Structure 1
Amino acid sequence: MSAAMGPATLLVIAKEPVPGRVKTRLTPPYTSQEAAALAEAALTDTLHTVLRAPARRRVLVLDGTPGPWLPPGFEVAAQVSGGLDERIVGAFELCDDGPALLVGMDTPHMSVDLLSRVGQDGLDAWFGPASDGGFWALGLAAPARARSLVRGVPMSTDRTGAIQRLRLAQAGLTVRDLPSLRDVDTAADAAAVAGLCPPSSRFATTMASLAQAVR
């Protein structure tokens, strides 16, 4: 078991919210422009939550180019090439010693409290499963171990989270399981997640504006 190490480096792995390149499973019923607007809202809410959490560093690991949705306070790094497992490994390799937590852009309802738990309890890893069988968060006290822990995990399947969690256990790590959250993948997901966000959040207000537009 690791000693408590203080605030983590917080990594957000994301894709630039360009119509036709993000949230394609939202179309239909949404247009590609509306899907991109929802993706931008989810990403912006995520970034602002990360800004409010204690952190050693905050890094956006981006596929694309930063836009006006990026608030000050983040380093920006390009994603490496390859599958999602390689891109996750590449994100962790941006970190120096000390705990690091990686999250995606699909859970705008995640809280500062959840992010703040990483690195404060002396554990080796933190794992946040997603309800679709993936995971929304992965934290490592020793980011350099990501290559052996993540590389080769099949991504975007309903077993991804279970396989990744098993990898952590098989490596003998002490793991804190974070609450399961719902990713925004489908229109049903978007509606459910909007109901879990504060009404003033960008994601909830964007969903409300789209609903108003079709009345």
Structure 2
Amino acid sequence: MKVTALVVAKAPVPGLAKTRLAKTLGDDIAADIAAAALLDTLDAVSAADFDERIVAMTGDLAQASRGDEITAALASYIVIGQRGDGFAERLRYAHEDAAASGNPVFQIGMDTPQVTVILLNDAATQLTEPGRSVLGMAEDGGWWGLGIADPALARGLLEVTMSSPTTGIDTYRALEALGADIASLPILRDVDHASDLTTVAALCLGGSRFGKAVEQVVRHVQR
């Protein structure tokens, strides 16, 4: 399909990745979980029917957990650096950069490793409808996926406070105010806290890296 996938990612460097998880599990384990989630996400996006695949990356993969594996997985992607001040601005510019081919852009982060090819293809199919945008809310009030056909809509993200309990609905309203026709995607649970791990892992496909990483955490805690 003539849709571009945009994965917005942060190199899972211990001490810098998943800091809320790290408070409970430690820097190394938190970074490994983040790396596993990113790799599962890249696998799903690679298998979905996108015309183009881009990763907007920040951070040093040379210092990251599973850095070599992530680098290998990125070989089939166009990798661009994130730019701008603050997360909302980086998202806006990532959308603008990814839209250079003229395709609608579907953006996903690295906190929903349970995402499926079917779900991604459904989002892409909806984006091929003229003027259609899509938004996937997260259980915690944020959002996990955003698809827009017009990169000018991404400026609406500048009006939204990120990482808040109302980020999702605020994003919806900001896009709607700019004239977007928004279809809702299924609500997913993203991974921010230790309490999210087993619930999300249970939704992942068998053999997922994230599922295996969580199994190791559970065994470690039970010792």
Matched, 1:133 2:133: no
TM-score, normalised via structure 1 length: 0.92
Per the TM alignment, residue 119 of structure 1 is displaced from its structure 2 partner at its CA by 4.3
* AA aligned opposite 1:80: R
Q: Distance in 2 between matches of 1:28 and 1:120?
A: 40
Corresponding residue pairs, total: 209
Matched, 1:65 2:60: yes
TM-score, normalised via structure 2 length: 0.89
Does the aligned pair in 2 maintain the 1:124–1:173 contact within 8 Å?
Answer: yes
Written as runs of structure 1 = structure 2, the 5 A alignment for 1:1-215 is 6-66=1-61, 67-68=67-68, 69-70=70-71, 71=73, 72-94=75-97, 95-96=99-100, 97-121=102-126, 122=129, 123-147=131-155, 149-214=156-221, 215=223
Change over 3 Å in CA distance of 1:119–1:201 after alignment to 2 = closer
Does the aligned pair in 1 maintain the 2:136–2:184 contact within 8 Å?
Answer: yes
- Residue 64 (structure 2) aligns with: none
Identity in percent: 39
Does the aligned pair in 1 maintain the 2:15–2:22 contact within 8 Å?
Answer: no
Change over 3 Å in CA distance of 1:114–1:7 after alignment to 2 = farther
Does the aligned pair in 2 maintain the 1:124–1:142 contact within 8 Å?
Answer: no
**CA offset digits 1:133-184 (Å, max 9, x no partner):** 110001001123312x222211110011110011222223221100011110
Q: Distance in 2 between matches of 1:108 and 1:169?
A: 28
Higher helix share: 2
SS at match of 2:162: coil
Consecutive unaligned residues in structure 2, runs of 5 or more: 62-66
SS at match of 1:14: strand
Does the aligned pair in 2 maintain the 1:12–1:102 contact within 8 Å?
Answer: yes
Q: Which runs of 4+ in 1 moved over 6 A?
A: none
**CA offset digits 1:72-117 (Å, max 9, x no partner):** 2111111113111101001111122121011100000011112112
Does the aligned pair in 2 maintain the 1:20–1:33 contact within 8 Å?
Answer: yes
Does the aligned pair in 1 maintain the 2:138–2:187 contact within 8 Å?
Answer: yes
* AA aligned opposite 2:49: P
Moved more, 38-47 or 171-180: 171-180
Q: Distance in 1 between matches of 2:171 and 2:42?
A: 24
Consecutive unaligned residues in structure 1, runs of 5 or more: 1-5
Does the aligned pair in 2 maintain the 1:8–1:118 contact within 8 Å?
Answer: no
Change over 3 Å in CA distance of 1:143–1:119 after alignment to 2 = farther
SS at match of 1:197: coil
Moved more, 170-179 or 100-109: 170-179
